[in-house]
Chain A
Amino acid sequence: MSSSAGKRLGERAIEAFITFSGWSSILCMLAIFVFVLREALPVVPKIDFVELFTSTRWIPAPAKGNPAHYGALGLITGTLTTTLLGMALAVPAGLGAAVYVAEFASARARETLKVLIELLAAIPSIVWGFIGLMVIGPVVARVTGAPLGTNLLTGGLILGLMSVPVIASIAEDALRAVPDTYREAALALGASPWELVTRVLFPAAKKGLLAACLLGLGRAVGETMAVLLATGHANQIPTSLVDPVRTLTAAIAAELGEAPKGSDHYRALFVLGALLLLLTVAINVTADIFVRGIRTDGAKRAR
């Protein structure tokens, strides 16, 4: 009797732990917000938020006697331009590869490509940055005649390569989630495989494909080490493809080590972190709502 009571108690403890783990992701997410904001808040009254978004004067640690300036426009445009360039490359390549893998490839080619996509996704971002710095950068410099290989173009290429596997694998899932009855109906009506893809599968998987692009975008916006090494370090609004830029993420990674703990500079970097956090959470939650949208639609259709 007592052993069974002991067992019951052990089971209770385990179930309590399981419930706690279940809520742990919420706990972590709240903790991230709390701790990033906690470090950022003391400097917030000193920041002019109009300046933050409209000026490129980022002087968080001025020489003695001079006022500090917190203008992050250069960093924001750095993030936007590298991300857009990366997306311009990754979206067609990722969606094209997804269509090929889901609809055209033989079983063997499909398996090989899927494994390659997975390996591509596994390469650490520091290695991507290193590749940008040492391999792609020099090629870009030679081809374009730019003085430096570390610039917007190299950063965009690297971000494109890094986002492709995310887009391709999620887009492929979305295409596969379209019920086979759609395919059968389209083919029975005389549609060619290409018409099937463009007129039936794309509209049916629209939300999932959009979610794939958004998640790729999220990865590109938040990418740190790759852009730290591959984009050069110039806090400016780029005027050409081969201008060096600096992104929000790279600014945090490069400057946090130098900023004394608790200084305004240090806290200003946490403000940038909070901006990034809000931006990426918004992107990911939107993507999640789209993905869920298709699931419930599918369930309704199945009925």
Chain B
Amino acid sequence: MSAASNPFAPSLHELNKERITRRGRIITGLLALCLAVPVVLLLAVIFVEAMPVISLELIWGNATDKGRGGGLWGPLIGTFYLVITSVLIVSPLGVGAAIYLNEYAREGTATRIIGLAVTSLAGVPSIVHALFGLGAFVLFAGMGASVQAAACTIAVMNLPVVIAASREALGAVPRSFREACWNLGASRWQTIRTVVLPNAWSGILTGVILAVSRAAGEAAPILFTGAVFFKHVPDSGLARLLPYALDDTFMAMAMHLLVISTQVSNMPPERPFAAAFVLVALVLLINAAAIRMRMKLRNNRKW
């Protein structure tokens, strides 16, 4: 049968449309690939370059000779200090703010202004957070350059992250759950504590994990608020695990990477690559945990 006699054969116009759609799909697909390929490639380069020095010693050893040799124990433990302290500060505040916005505040001008403040806060450049931390915590509050000043600075930076994730988690709990609880005579807080929070817990945790990952990777906010390039870390004993004091300066992974890649001469190139590898691995592992948790949460949802 010839095309002309088949009444259902696609017209030239339709064929053309199909071609354009196919082309559009290919182009957008390529753009998506543009985004995926460099990440994988760049991470592979970092890994390959870091290969020669990857060993347990890299994690456990002390940095020697201005980072030209040895391991990353000091900066790693400093990063843990920073992460834990800042998350302890930001979690109650961020979750509290989300509870206020989602459970207590009536939709109106006040919530609108708070919402704007959260967005603005999320958009403040990290170096401005550093200036703020220096002016407010290091100088005004008299904390000096210290773990606590850096942790406060990072906590302010992470506040919008925790608020946004927690708010989303709380918002996903169906209203009928709350109404059932109120009808049993429970107060607002009792309802939140016994019904809303248990059902929103994993979503909130996802936000906190994201805050952890940001705290681990940020360099600018800790530059002037407490991170230093070198600090002595004892070789053994409890002091090896807890080498820093909250009111004293500390080493951190991001700071370490910055200094050894720009300010130390005759640096063997695999050293900064190894530091970058460890930092990226740390951050990606934390994020992978957050992503997994969210997927599990989506699959286990009871409603």
Check if A205 is an interface residue, CB within 8 A of chain B: no
Docked CA distance A60–B94 (Å): 39
Docked CA distance A95–B45 (Å): 27
Instruction: Note all chain B residues with C-beta closer than 8 A to A94.
Output: 35
The total of Cβ contacts below 8 Å across the A-B interface reads: 276
Q: Is the CB of A100 within 8 A of B25?
A: yes
Q: Mark B98-136, 1 if CB is under 8 A from A, else 0.
A: 011100110000000111111111111111111110111
Q: Which of A38, A115, A161, A221 contacts B291 (CB 8 A)?
A: A115
Check if B69 is an interface residue, CB within 8 A of chain A: no
Q: Given the known A-B contacts A126-B219, A134-B273, are A194 and B118 also in contact in the complex, defined by CB atoms under 8 Å? A: no
Instruction: Note all chain A residues with C-beta closer than 8 A to B280.
Output: 123-124, 127
Minimal Cβ-Cβ distance residue in B for A225: B219
Q: Is the CB of B269 within 8 A of A134?
A: yes
Min distance, Cβ B147 to any Cβ of chain A, angstroms: 19
Instruction: Note all chain A residues with C-beta closer than 8 A to B269.
Output: 134
Instruction: Note all chain A residues with C-beta closer than 8 A to B32.
Output: 96-97, 100-101, 105, 113
Among B13-21, B54-62, B232-240, B241-249, the stretch in contact with A? B13-21
Instruction: Note all chain B residues with C-beta closer than 8 A to A135.
Output: 42, 45-46
Check if B257 is an interface residue, CB within 8 A of chain A: yes
Docked CA distance A214–B130 (Å): 23
Check if B284 is an interface residue, CB within 8 A of chain A: yes
Q: Mark A253-282, 1 if CB is under 8 A from B, else 0.
A: 100110001000000011001001100110
Interface residues of A in 25-56 (CB under 8 A from B): 25-26, 28-29, 31-32, 35-36, 38-39
Q: Mark A120-152, 1 if CB is under 8 A from B, else 0.
A: 101111110111011100000000000000000
Minimal Cβ-Cβ distance residue in A for B258: A126
Q: Given the known A-B contacts A21-B96, A22-B105, A192-B17, are A36 and B31 also in contact in the complex, defined by CB atoms under 8 Å? A: no
Instruction: Note all chain A residues with C-beta closer than 8 A to B189.
Output: 11, 14-15
Q: Is the CB of B217 within 8 A of A28?
A: no
Minimal Cβ-Cβ distance residue in A for B137: A35
Check if B93 is an interface residue, CB within 8 A of chain A: yes
Q: Is the CB of A21 within 8 A of B28?
A: no
Q: Is the CB of B125 within 8 A of A280?
A: yes
Check if B183 is an interface residue, CB within 8 A of chain A: no
Q: Is the CB of A23 within 8 A of B272?
A: no
From DSSP, what is the main secondary structure of chain B's interface residues? helix
Min distance, Cβ A54 to any Cβ of chain B, angstroms: 24
Docked CA distance A101–B33 (Å): 11
Docked CA distance A135–B46 (Å): 9
Among A62-70, A238-246, A283-291, the stretch in contact with B? A283-291
Min distance, Cβ B221 to any Cβ of chain A, angstroms: 9
Q: Is the CB of A283 within 8 A of B123?
A: yes
Instruction: Note all chain B residues with C-beta closer than 8 A to A15.
Output: 104, 188-189
Min distance, Cβ A126 to any Cβ of chain B, angstroms: 4
Docked CA distance A43–B170 (Å): 46
Interface residues of A in 152-174 (CB under 8 A from B): 161, 164-165, 168
Q: Is the CB of B28 within 8 A of A97?
A: yes
Instruction: Note all chain A residues with C-beta closer than 8 A to B262.
Output: 133, 229
Q: Is the CB of A288 within 8 A of B114?
A: no
Q: Given the known A-B contacts A24-B97, A25-B160, A164-B35, are A257 and B224 also in contact in the complex, defined by CB atoms under 8 Å? A: yes
Min distance, Cβ B14 to any Cβ of chain A, angstroms: 8
Min distance, Cβ A80 to any Cβ of chain B, angstroms: 15
Q: Which of A21, A25, A165, A277 contacts B125 (CB 8 A)?
A: A277
Q: Is the CB of A21 within 8 A of B97?
A: yes
Minimal Cβ-Cβ distance residue in B for A167: B35
Q: Mark A3-26, 1 if CB is under 8 A from B, else 0.
A: 000000001001101111111111
Min distance, Cβ A267 to any Cβ of chain B, angstroms: 11
Min distance, Cβ B28 to any Cβ of chain A, angstroms: 4
Q: Is the CB of B284 within 8 A of A32?
A: no
Instruction: Note all chain B residues with C-beta closer than 8 A to A97.
Output: 28, 31-32, 34-35
Q: Which of A28, A229, A288 contacts B116 (CB 8 A)?
A: A288
Q: Is the CB of B131 within 8 A of A221?
A: no
Instruction: Note all chain B residues with C-beta closer than 8 A to A225.
Output: 126, 219-220, 254, 258
Q: Is the CB of B128 within 8 A of A32?
A: yes
Check if B202 is an interface residue, CB within 8 A of chain A: no
Docked CA distance A20–B159 (Å): 14
Residue of B114, B124, B272 with most partner-chain A CB within 10 A: B124
Instruction: Note all chain B residues with C-beta closer than 8 A to A270.
Output: 131, 135
Q: Given the known A-B contacts A32-B124, A194-B17, A277-B128, are A124 and B159 also in contact in the complex, defined by CB atoms under 8 Å? A: no
Q: Which of B25, B35, B93 contacts A24 (CB 8 A)?
A: B93
Q: Is the CB of B97 within 8 A of A31?
A: no
Residue of A116, A133, A257 with most partner-chain B CB within 10 A: A116
Q: Is the CB of B125 within 8 A of A223?
A: yes
Residue of B34, B39, B127 with most partner-chain A CB within 10 A: B127
Check if B29 is an interface residue, CB within 8 A of chain A: yes
Q: Is the CB of B123 within 8 A of A222?
A: yes
Q: List 19 A-B contacts (CB under 8 A).
A: A22-B114, A24-B159, A29-B117, A31-B136, A32-B121, A93-B34, A104-B28, A123-B283, A124-B280, A126-B257, A134-B272, A164-B35, A192-B18, A222-B126, A223-B126, A224-B125, A225-B219, A253-B130, A273-B128
Pairs of residues from A and B, 10 with the lowest C-beta to C-beta distance, nearest first: A124-B217, A222-B125, A96-B31, A21-B96, A22-B100, A284-B123, A100-B28, A35-B135, A194-B21, A97-B32
